[in-house]
Structure 1
């Protein structure tokens, strides 16, 4: 806990990943000073076909917001899931429906090239 608090004082943020995939997640939620709650993608990808998965995602989001924790939905694979997640009010999304993973260096190179063309 001390290590997390030390990093937070330096400006780092922390996320609890794959939340909902195990019962121990709830005890971590109560004890760790996290900033983001990443909802397990196994539930997210089923919200259109499984009412229980939808309720789980909505419940995790509500719990996160009661605790002032931002929520992130994993496995947002298409526009329909994106729309449902947006309607729930989840703060951030991640998945192929938003964009495919890419090496970090590509945006850096692109930005550098744009700066070379437009040196102000």
Structure 2
């Protein structure tokens, strides 16, 4: 059974919104479990599904790469300028990019299985 890309489009939109809310929530309002996790691994872990979902929704890998990098940069800029007790970090931005690349690789592998329609 093949999965329709529309399902992935809605999941990608929802995941992107969740990412933005999570990354722009004031630090003191985050659950303790999230704060205790390795921050860099967490950045990579949230950007990998971003890439996977958008690619499986039908967005080109190159466009997803650009969008992921721009989103990671935007998040870091917003963490710097907004009064949310969060700090911008170049290494977080690099971890975002690594997560995007990991997600692209995983999405490519999933597409090769033929499970996704399109």
Instruction: Give 1 or 2: higher strand fraction.
Output: 1
- Common fold, TM-score beyond 0.5? no
Q: TM (normalized to structure 2)?
A: 0.29
Give the helix-richer structure, 1 or 2: 2
User: Which fold has the larger relative contact order, with Cα–Cα distance below 8 Å and residues 6 or more apart in sequence?
Assistant: 2
Q: State the TM-score, normalizing by the size of structure 1.
A: 0.28
